[in-house]
Amino acid sequence: SEVDIPYGLCMWSAGQGAQDLASKLSESIPMQAQLAVEHARGDRSRLFVDDYNRLLGIPDGSILALGDCARTTAEKPLPQTAQVAAQQGAYVARILNRGYVLSQDGPPAMPSDDFSALARSRGRVEAPPFRFLDLGRLAYLGEGTAVAEFGVGTTVSKARGRAAFLLWRSVYLVKQVSFRNRVLVLFDWIKSKVFGRDLTRF
């Protein structure tokens, strides 16, 4: 039965749930279930990976996980942000593009073919483990204000208000994929500043 509830402001807040694929994969791999009990209080919504983003419990290293569905057994987990996922994606792409052998125990290593001879001569036989470089966080608050926490590694600086807003806008603009998108976003910002926001579609 339907019920009408009078209200002045309706706010819906919901977290993101785990994808069925990650949960089912975690349930089907015994080591994942064991790690979930030991390190995550039985939560199987995320998959445990090693330092090279290989799924733990898969001997041949054929499954990689990254982003929100991946976690390590480290004491301090990585934040579930786009920054982590982007860095993990770039790392996995390098590992795959350079042809590292993922099926061996320990660090992935270069195959012994002619293509990898240059990398071997430079001493890059084994893949380095993934290391997250925390570049900070930015949040737009509206009305031309934002908050920022940024730095490299352990050095952290904080900003808020107009300065953080300008920083947020500059990072947002730089992260656009193409020059065309940068121009369009910039033009849209200028247009909304001069003429106000377009509310005709609402």
Tell me what pLDDT residue 90 has.
93
Residues shown for the chain: 202
Listed as ranges, residues in the chain with pLDDT below 70 are 8-18, 113-123, 152-156, 199-202
- Give the CA distances from residue 141 to residues 41, 70, 129, 156, in Å, rounded to whole numbers and listed in that order: 34, 29, 36, 20
Longest dimension (CA), the chain: 73
Residue 40 structure tokens = 């995550």
E strand residue ranges, 14-152: 47-48, 70-71, 136-142, 145-150
What is the value of pTM for the model shown? 0.74
Measured between alpha carbons, how far is 110 from 62 in angstroms, rounded to an integer?
Answer: 16
What is the model's pLDDT at position 153? 61
Q: What is the pLDDT of residues 94-127, one digit of tens each?
A: 988 888 888 888 888 887 765 556 666 666 788 8
